[in-house]
């Protein structure tokens, strides 16, 4: 079963009609449909808060316009699936990429099998893939259940009221339907698709290492031997997820005034997922990089030894001496470039993302302190 050409994620329920493979047909425009739902829910939230006078709430209570978390959910619902879908399509279209670091023979003989395995995983045609997806559904439903229970007793859990608690029925029931859609449909689909992509990349890198299918380019503009764009295909879907999780952490502290297991736990899971998604395929890629760098070094050294032996044996004329010497210097520079290719492509980007996520709790605390400090200055003046 081949993913729909317009939207790879149309293999999942939130982007298709029907919950079983036999009863499913893909939406013609799943991306715009998801965007339209986000806009519709956003307008419905505003209308409900307007009707219930909860756009801005007095005292410690938090109104819709004072709660940035829900708007982050709406934006993430649109951005994250689009980025994941783009990465899946780029992975699928690797054979047609002109600057692919893989040999044409490897792509022609091995990639079809790997891509077929990714497709089977996306469609949950195999037991393991189906089980992972079901676990993600259970986790999403558990999160929705806890949030639903928490919103029924806001004063007990958070010690203040907010616009979508049970005390405000329109806001409460709208967010129940919305979070059911996000946490039980969109979330599991996106995470499962990302897992399928990571497993596919790991298989691709491992097979490329065994079949000598990677050719590093020491002069590539990315400084990663041409592997930067390929690794970005795996990393890019995590960028909006990490940023959204970090912003949600800051927003949660801004609203709640404290960190709890929900916000810190979610952030910790995001950082763990980021590291897992990078290192699982990167370990296989590192082995292939080491083997390819060794092969290129041996090839360069072989040419250098031949040229140097010719120089020592005086087999070159005076006219060619300068050219041979210049060639040896160029080969030495090439050897340095090969050595400089990182065995962990884009690792610096991973550490930057992790640092942003880890710094978000401190940033939230700093904003809260600044908010309390500004009125103090105003009172002194």
Cα 312 from Cα 309, distance rounded (Å): 5
* DSSP code per residue over 304-345: HHHHHHHHHTT-S-HHHHHHHHHHHHHHHHHHHHHHHS-SST
Tokens of 64: 């819709």
Contact 147, 179 (CB under 8 A): yes
Contact 34, 81 (CB under 8 A): yes
* C-alpha dihedral sign at 250, 251, 254, 256: negative
Q: What is residue 4's predicted lDDT score, i.e. its pLDDT?
A: 42
| Measured CA angle at 335 (ends 334, 337), to 5 deg | 65
Q: What is residue 44's predicted lDDT score, i.e. its pLDDT?
A: 95
Tokens of 174: 């709208």
Determine if residue 124 is left, alpha or beta; phi over 0 gives left, psi from -120 to 50 gives alpha, anything else beta. Answer: left
Cα 329 from Cα 324, distance rounded (Å): 9
Residue 28 CB coordination number (10 Å)? 11
pLDDT tens, the chain, 381 aa long = 444 445 677 778 777 755 555 555 565 567 788 888 999 999 999 999 999 999 998 877 888 988 888 888 898 888 888 888 888 888 888 887 767 788 888 888 888 888 888 888 888 888 999 999 999 999 999 989 988 988 888 777 667 788 889 999 999 999 999 999 999 988 898 889 888 888 988 898 889 888 888 888 888 888 888 888 788 888 887 787 787 777 777 666 666 555 666 667 667 777 888 888 888 888 988 988 998 899 999 999 998 888 888 777 765 566 667 777 888 888 888 889 888 888 888 888 888 888 887 777 666 556 555 655 555 444 444
In three-state secondary structure terms, 27 is: coil
Contact 25, 17 (CB under 8 A): yes
Contact 64, 171 (CB under 8 A): yes
| End-to-end C-alpha distance for the chain, whole angstroms | 70
State the pTM of this model: 0.80
């Amino acid at each position: 079963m081949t993913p729909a050409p317009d939207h790879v994620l149309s293999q999942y329920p939130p982007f298709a009609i029907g919950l079983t493979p036999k009863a499913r047909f893909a939406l013609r425009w799943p991306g715009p449909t998801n965007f339209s739902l986000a806009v519709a829910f956003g307008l419905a939230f505003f209308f409900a808060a307007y009707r219930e006078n909860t756009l801005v709430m007095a005292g410690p209570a938090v109104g819709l316009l004072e709660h940035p978390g829900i708007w982050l959910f709406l934006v993430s619902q649109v951005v994250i699936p689009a980025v994941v879908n783009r990465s899946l399509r780029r992975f699928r279209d690797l054979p047609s990429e002109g600057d692919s670091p893989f040999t044409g023979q490897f792509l022609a003989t091995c990639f079809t099998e790997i891509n077929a395995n990714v497709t089977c995983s996306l469609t949950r045609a195999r037991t393991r893939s189906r089980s992972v997806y079901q676990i993600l559904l259970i986790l999403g439903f558990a999160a929705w259940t806890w949030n639903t229970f928490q919103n029924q007793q806001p004063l007990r859990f958070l010690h203040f009221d907010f616009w979508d608690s049970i005390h405000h029925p329109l806001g409460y029931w709208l967010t129940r339907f919305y979070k059911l859609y996000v946490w039980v449909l969109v979330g599991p689909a996106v995470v499962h698709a990302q897992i399928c992509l990571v497993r596919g990349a790991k298989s691709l890198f491992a097979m490329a290492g065994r079949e000598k299918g990677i050719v590093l380019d020491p002069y590539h503009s990315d400084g990663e031997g041409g592997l930067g764009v390929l690794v970005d295909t795996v990393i890019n879907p995590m960028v909006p997820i990490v940023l959204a999780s970090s912003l949600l952490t800051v927003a949660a502290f801004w609203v709640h005034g404290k960190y709890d297991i929900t916000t810190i736990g979610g952030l910790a899971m995001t950082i763990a997922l980021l590291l897992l998604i990078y290192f699982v395929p990167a370990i296989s890629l590192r082995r292939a990089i080491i083997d390819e760098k060794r092969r290129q070094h041996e090839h360069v050294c072989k040419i250098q030894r031949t040229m140097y032996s010719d120089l020592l044996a005086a087999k070159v004329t005076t006219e060619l001496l300068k050219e041979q010497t210049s060639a040896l210097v160029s080969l030495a520079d090439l050897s340095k470039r090969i050595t400089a290719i990182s065995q962990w492509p884009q690792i610096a980007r991973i550490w930057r993302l992790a640092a942003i996520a880890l710094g978000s709790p401190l940033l939230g605390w700093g904003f809260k302190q600044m908010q309390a400090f500004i009125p103090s200055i105003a009172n002194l003046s």
